[in-house]
């Protein structure tokens, strides 16, 4: 439905009944959001938008968790900005399983917005985020300021504006996903960056391969960023799996998370031309020394070994297709 641009109104459509098997996955969105919100609250990085989307948890998060999230946010952000600079922002970004992510607003503040920024997540999560956008001028004003038409397309599970769209869809249902993206004017001719943070691991290997192949086949020039678990065959990895299972959250795609090599291979076998991967401890070691000194002074870390174990079980992977004239293969961390 079309609603007035200057007085945006989000209809209160009810969400579809939740699938019990997906409850645990949706719970990980909440966990990640709370962890980011806490880390921001004690100064790990600046994000004036996340307080408007996520409550501050009363539970203090462990220092190794906060440092891990800092490395994650920093690493993903650096790759996103590298892609935007290579393309001169003449591109689009698809944030898959975006949750309460605030990248769109932060990129706008840095004058690094792509031609259009899309977010996709479960309808229930999208409905919650749309509710916050509706109520918080700090979130809605940038969307409205960039909108060039008299009406804004939105309903309970979708908002489509000139530069930003948020879509409620199941990433395992490729035909539905593609249909909804095209309705929101996704342009397959534009260089496209797809970002997935702890998303593919909750799909079966077949489902995630279908998504990766669809992405590789849909865009002539593209890059895929994937942040998720790695080295999951060892004892520490098994403990991580058991802890999640106790919370009714199954890592359906964990078999692709055996090593950095298996992570790269899944990308190459899905039609991507180049693939790179680093574990988060390696990434942490490459962070600017001044930033490391700053965040390490924020709180005392009792066991460096625990941080190292945790960081060695997450990785940042990126793959490219086409874009040789833009130098996409040169992007590295």
User: What is the residue-level pLDDT of the chain in tens, covering all 333 positions?
Assistant: 344 334 444 333 333 444 555 776 776 778 899 999 999 999 999 999 999 999 999 899 999 999 999 999 999 999 999 999 999 999 999 999 999 999 999 999 999 999 999 999 999 999 999 999 999 999 999 999 999 888 787 888 999 999 999 999 999 999 999 999 999 999 999 999 999 999 999 999 999 999 999 999 999 999 999 999 999 999 999 999 999 888 888 899 999 999 999 999 999 999 999 999 999 999 999 999 999 999 999 999 988 999 999 999 999 999 999 999 999 999 998
Tally Cβ neighbours within 10 Å of residue 204: 14
Q: Do the domain assignments include residue 15?
A: no
Strand, coil or helix: 49: coil
Tally Cβ neighbours within 10 Å of residue 59: 7
Task: Give the number of domains in the chain.
Answer: 1
Q: Do the domain assignments include residue 25?
A: no
The pLDDT of residue 21: 59
Q: Do the domain assignments include residue 182?
A: yes
Q: Do the domain assignments include residue 197?
A: yes
Q: Which of 67, 5, 114, 6 has the alpha carbon at shortest distance from 296?
A: 67
CATH number at residue 172: 3.40.50.150
The pLDDT of residue 17: 40
The pLDDT of residue 152: 84
Tokens matching residue 43: 């100064």
Q: Do the domain assignments include residue 265?
A: yes
Q: Do the domain assignments include residue 100?
A: yes
Tally Cβ neighbours within 10 Å of residue 302: 10
The pLDDT of residue 303: 86
Which residues participate in the annotated binding site? 72, 97, 170-171, 197
Which residues participate in the annotated binding site for S-adenosyl-L-methionine? 72, 97, 170-171, 197
Asked whether 225 and 277 are in contact (CB, 8 A), the reply is: no
Q: Which residue range is the domain that position 112 belongs to?
A: 32-330
The Cα–Cα gap between 237 and 188 comes to 38
Q: Do the domain assignments include residue 61?
A: yes
The pLDDT of residue 74: 98
The Cα–Cα gap between 262 and 200 comes to 14
The pLDDT of residue 14: 34
CA distances from 230 to 42, 76, 191, 240, 314 (A): 28, 16, 28, 11, 5
The Cα–Cα gap between 310 and 226 comes to 17
The pLDDT of residue 19: 57
Q: Do the domain assignments include residue 8?
A: no
The pLDDT of residue 65: 96
The pLDDT of residue 306: 94
Q: Greatest CA separation found in the chain?
A: 57
The pLDDT of residue 27: 65
Tokens matching residue 178: 């593609």
The pLDDT of residue 15: 38
The pLDDT of residue 190: 98
């Amino acid at each position: 439905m079309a609603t007035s641009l200057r007085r945006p109104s989000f209809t209160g459509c009810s969400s579809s009944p939740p699938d019990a098997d997906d409850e645990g996955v949706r719970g990980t969105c909440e966990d990640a959001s709370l962890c980011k919100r806490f880390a921001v609250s004690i100064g790990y990085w600046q994000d004036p938008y996340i307080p408007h989307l996520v409550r501050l948890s009363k539970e203090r998060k462990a220092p190794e968790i906060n440092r891990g999230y800092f490395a994650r946010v920093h690493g993903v952000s650096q790759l996103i900005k590298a892609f935007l600079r290579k393309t001169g922002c003449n591109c689009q970004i698809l944030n898959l399983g975006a949750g309460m992510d605030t990248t769109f607003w932060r990129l706008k503040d840095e004058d690094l917005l792509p031609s259009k920024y899309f977010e996709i997540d479960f309808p229930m999560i999208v409905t919650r985020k749309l509710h916050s956008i509706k109520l918080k001028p700090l979130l809605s004003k940038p969307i409205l300021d960039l909108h060039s038409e008299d009406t804004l397309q939105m309903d309970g599970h979708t908002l489509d504006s000139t530069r930003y769209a948020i879509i409620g869809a199941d990433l395992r249902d490729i035909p539905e996903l593609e249909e909804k993206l095209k309705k929101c004017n996704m342009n397959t001719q534009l260089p496209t960056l797809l970002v997935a943070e702890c998303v593919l691991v909750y799909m079966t290997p077949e489902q995630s391969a279908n998504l990766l192949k669809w992405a590789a086949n849909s865009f002539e020039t593209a890059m895929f960023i994937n942040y998720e678990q790695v080295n999951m065959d060892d004892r520490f990895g098994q403990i991580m799996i058991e802890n999640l299972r106790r919370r009714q959250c199954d890592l359906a795609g964990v078999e692709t998370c055996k090593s950095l090599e298996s992570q790269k291979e899944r990308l190459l076998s899905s039609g991507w031309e180049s693939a790179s991967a680093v574990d988060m401890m390696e990434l942490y070691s490459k962070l600017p020394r001044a930033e490391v000194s700053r965040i390490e002074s924020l709180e005392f870390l009792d066991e460096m070994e625990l941080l190292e174990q945790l960081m060695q079980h997450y990785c940042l992977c990126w793959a490219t297709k086409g874009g040789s004239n833009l130098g996409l293969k040169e992007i590295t961390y």
